[in-house]
Structure 1
């Protein structure tokens, strides 16, 4: 069931107020053919809402924009980084002190290694 849940003010429960059923697949994965999952490792993306052990939902059909968190194949492994545009240059933002930004060529997908855009991060609160 899906219901609005206001934060701060108590709301009385009314039978039937929950509306229609909730389809998590439809809500989280609008394009299943282009969607992949990975588990985040490390705490470098906490400021972007992604914690160590989170399940990230990656959609390859989303057009990357500055500010998106993306997954990129880089030097034989995957990187999870914020994407930044400075003028005509695309960069992967550093997530650790002393780390350099990594330039990307998004006009040439195969050379850039862009795997997809993170559209959701699922994490436990306990």
Structure 2
């Protein structure tokens, strides 16, 4: 089962922190021998601007558990959850299920609304049968690699 832990809210006025940004994609195979600094001189990217669309409604959660790995959400990842997005079936959401926060994919099957994991070991949670509330929509997930 995957659960989440509240880390904090995004600042309503996040500071601009531009970092150098290459204008070329990184390939996961042989990419040749071009200079690593060749194409990013003068370019930058602000991660707040890129990932936080509604600062006053964006919150950061940490993930525990393995039930969402099929959706590339792993233990230790951080999720940016946006409460300003209107949730709908098909979204990955943070839901309050009988008082506990969890991250699941919201699916609709006929008249049934289900909160589903990405792993068959965890059965779907029928929203029709238990007290649930969609708390917010997962906008993006981020992982920090060990170095």
**What's the CA shift string for 1:39-75, capped at 9, x where partnerless?**
1011111111111111111011223233321100111
**Which range moves more in the overlay, 67-76 or 89-98?**
89-98
Q: Against the structure 1 CA distance between its residues 30 and 94, is the aligned structure 2 distance closer, same or farther, given a 3 Å change threshold? A: closer
Residue of 44, 53, 68 corresponding to 1:45: 68
Give 2:142's aligned residue: 122
Higher strand proportion (structure 1 or 2): 2
Structure 2: runs of 5 or more not aligned = 1-19
Which of residues 48, 69, 72 in structure 2 aligns to 1:25?
48
Q: Structure 1: which 5+ residue stretches go unaligned?
A: 106-110
Which runs of at least 4 in structure 1 moved beyond 6 Å after TM superposition? Answer: none
TM-score scaled by length of structure 2:
0.70
* Bigger mean CA offset, 60-69 vs 113-122: 60-69
8 Å CA contact 2:67–2:122 kept in 1: the answer is no
More helix by share: 1
Pair 1:83 & 2:106 matched: yes
d(CA) in 2 for partners of 1:11, 1:5:
14
CA RMSD of aligned residues (A): 2.4
User: Cα 1:96–1:21, aligned 2, differ >3 Å: closer, same or farther?
Assistant: closer
**Alignment length (residue pairs):** 121
What is residue 64 of structure 1 aligned with on the other side?
A: 87
